[in-house]
Amino acid sequence: MISLIQFEYIVALAQYQSFSKAAEHCFVTQPTLSMQIKKMETDLDVILFDRSKKPVTPTQIGAQLIAQAKVILSESAKIQEIIQANAETLTGDLRVGIIPSIAPYLLPTFIGLFAQSHPGINIRIKELLSDDIMKALDEDQIDVGILATPLPRTDFNVFPLFYEKILIYCDPSNDLANYDTVDVAEMRDKKIWLMSDGNCFRNQVINICDLKEDSAHSNFHYESASIETLIKLVDVEGGITLIPELAANAQFLIDFTRPEGTMAHLAVAEKTGTKMIIGTTGLSADQIAGLKKASANLAIVFAPNMSVGVNATFKLLEIAAKMLNQGYDIEIIEAHHKHKVDAPSGTALKMGQVIADALGEKLDDVAVYAREGHTGERKEGSIGFATIRGGDIVGDHTVLFAGDGERIEISHKSSSRQSYAQGSLRAARFLQNQKNGLFDMQDVLGLRK
């Protein structure tokens, strides 16, 4: 008899096209997953996957059965939904996909309150383009999508959340700045800054302005990946851009980009008075000085890591460093995914700074970032850093206090970026009561002396 577990295994294998990745997704060993799929093929007397190809692909009959398996799994999940609907407390996972153009503005308005009201629900949020959201819904990778309508498909249940105006952002010297409303015909000869290809808001602007993408004299050779950058481009280069009303009325701007992007977004936040939560690492001393200057009139939370657990670890390190201030060598080991471009990580550097401060030292004076060749004996009082880059490691940090006859290790390991999102929302709630100032997560969590 075929089981629901076997259905889950073949759906996972079809999605990830790898036995090892499918097994990891299903939280089983690869031999277990392979054996169950092989048993299912034997019981049905069909071949579901062509194992000779890389990546693994379903056969023709396999694709049909997998499509039916998705339906069966979806229907079986409704049993639990019925039980949950009649329970006093909702529990389980809620997987949400949201388009990037509204995520930083919409999420802070409701997600924190929702999480507080439903503590039993584990919320998982992904920023995806509209086409990717629809694909993820088809493949049961998310439960809900938040995206702009109208959709090119009619087979989804659609519930409008709100309607908003589309606004023009232009330099005060632009002739459109004096208009309360603008006819689209008046924009066609203007230099229009657009979102990158694939973003639904870009498509809306093109449709509204009746622009022709294949025109030899196209007036929109200018593209960007974020609304904040578009605004900055208008400030510096002129022209106009269109922005959703929600972006103009945003209370918070959450930034996890790169230093150059953060500083561009900071300039926009200063102009609009939007409070910022910044988790970008790798900022230079001059850029950090820019944050401090802006904080005279703007409330900012700036932290290399927004995770509550990581910031609790900072406090533990401060206590440990004061207690183990003699006879212990300190080493900081961090590991991240292969795409991370700065090293050591901002979190590792912050750990070093916390320890150095607790010992009454300057980190620049005691830090050792590289060892190679004949280095001689370890210098007493130094703080060593070791960096690992590989795979998809979200973020691992270990601080080693090595003494004679014993060693103490304080570690934090991230398995998901969800903790960063939750910490960012906590920072946003903290900023609601702040008019200006530069804060970090120690302030947010009440750990500052």
How distant, in Å, are the alpha carbons of 27, 105, 192, 242, 244 from that of 205?
Answer: 44, 19, 9, 7, 10
Residues 406 and 375 in one domain: yes
The answer to whether residue 42 is domain-embedded is yes
Total structural domains in the chain?
5
Residues 292 and 430 in one domain: yes
Domain end position, chosen among 134, 163, 192: 163
Q: What is the mean pLDDT of residues 96-110?
A: 81
The answer to whether residue 205 is domain-embedded is yes
Q: What is the mean pLDDT of the chain?
A: 84
pLDDT at 213 over 50: no
Residues 70 and 40 in one domain: yes
Residues 359 and 288 in one domain: no
What count of other Cβ atoms lies within 10 Å of the Cβ of residue 123?
A: 16
The answer to whether residue 194 is domain-embedded is yes
**How many Å apart are CA 277 and CA 431, to the nearest integer?**
9
Residues 411 and 334 in one domain: yes
Q: Of 155-169, 201-215, 373-387, give the range with the top mean pLDDT.
A: 373-387
The model's pLDDT over 64-102, given as tens digits with 9 standing for 90+, comes to: 999 999 888 888 877 777 766 666 667 778 899 998 877
pLDDT score of 85:
64
Tell me which of 336, 350, 397, 412 is the catalytic residue. Answer: 336
pLDDT score of 214:
42
Domain end position, chosen among 70, 87, 104: 87
**How many Å apart are CA 10 and CA 35, to the nearest integer?**
11
Residue 429, Ramachandran bin (φ over 0: left; ψ between -120 and 50: alpha; else beta): alpha
The answer to whether residue 108 is domain-embedded is yes
The model's pLDDT over 186-203, given as tens digits with 9 standing for 90+, comes to: 776 777 777 766 666 777
Q: What is the mean pLDDT of residues 217-233?
A: 63
Q: In what order do the strands lie in the sheet with 252-255?
A: 252-255, 275-278, 299-302, 437-439
pLDDT score of 160:
83
What is the SS3 assignment for 413? strand
How distant, in Å, are the alpha carbons of 7, 106, 150, 408 from that of 129?
Answer: 28, 16, 14, 45
Please classify residue 231 by burial: count the beta carbons closer than 10 Å to its beta carbon, then call 0-12 exposed, 13-18 middle and 19+ buried. buried
CATH of residue 387: 3.30.360.10
The answer to whether residue 449 is domain-embedded is no
pLDDT at 237 over 50: yes
Residues 296 and 383 in one domain: no
CATH of residue 15: 1.10.10.10
State the residue range of the domain holding 28.
1-87
pLDDT score of 209:
65
Q: Which of 49-53, 150-154, 247-251, 376-380 is least confident?
A: 247-251
Contact of 227 with 247, CB cutoff 8 Å: yes
Q: Of 107-116, 167-176, 368-377, give the range with the top mean pLDDT.
A: 368-377
pLDDT at 359 over 90: yes
Residues 313 and 407 in one domain: yes
Q: Which residue has the higher pLDDT, 394 or 89?
A: 394
Q: What is the mean pLDDT of residues 367-389?
A: 92
Residues 423 and 292 in one domain: yes
Whether this prediction's pTM lies above 0.85 is answered by no
pLDDT score of 220:
45
Tell me which of 21, 191, 315, 340 is the catalytic residue. Answer: 340
The model's pLDDT over 280-332, given as tens digits with 9 standing for 90+, comes to: 888 899 999 999 999 999 999 999 888 889 989 999 999 999 999 999 999 99
pLDDT score of 197:
66
Q: What is the mean pLDDT of residues 426-432?
A: 88
What count of other Cβ atoms lies within 10 Å of the Cβ of residue 267?
A: 17
pLDDT at 212 over 60: no
Q: Which of 19-23, 133-137, 420-424 is least confident?
A: 420-424
How distant, in Å, are the alpha carbons of 93, 132, 202, 244 from that of 84?
Answer: 12, 28, 39, 36
CATH of residue 278: 3.40.50.720
Residues 365 and 395 in one domain: yes
Residues 403 and 341 in one domain: yes
The answer to whether residue 264 is domain-embedded is yes
Contact of 241 with 210, CB cutoff 8 Å: no
130: nearest Cα among 153, 147, 150: 147
Q: Of 36-50, 67-81, 121-135, 410-424, give the range with the top mean pLDDT.
A: 36-50
Beta strands in 338-420 (DSSP E): 367-368, 383-389, 395-403, 406-414
pLDDT at 216 over 50: no
Domain end position, chosen among 63, 87, 111: 87
The answer to whether residue 128 is domain-embedded is yes
**How many Å apart are CA 385 and CA 414, to the nearest integer?**
19
Residues 125 and 212 in one domain: no
The model's pLDDT over 257-271, given as tens digits with 9 standing for 90+, comes to: 788 888 888 887 887
Q: What is the mean pLDDT of residues 220-234?
A: 67
For CA atoms 207, 210, 215, 220, the dihedral sign is negative
Q: Which residue has the higher pLDDT, 115 or 157?
A: 157
Per-residue confidence band for 402, with pLDDT thresholds at 50, 70 and 90: very high
The answer to whether residue 187 is domain-embedded is yes
Residues 204 and 341 in one domain: no
pLDDT score of 48:
93
What count of other Cβ atoms lies within 10 Å of the Cβ of residue 294?
A: 19
pLDDT at 164 over 80: no
pLDDT score of 217:
44
pLDDT score of 433:
86
Catalytic, 25? Answer no
CATH of residue 193: 3.40.190.10
Q: Of 199-208, 326-335, 370-379, give the range with the top mean pLDDT.
A: 326-335
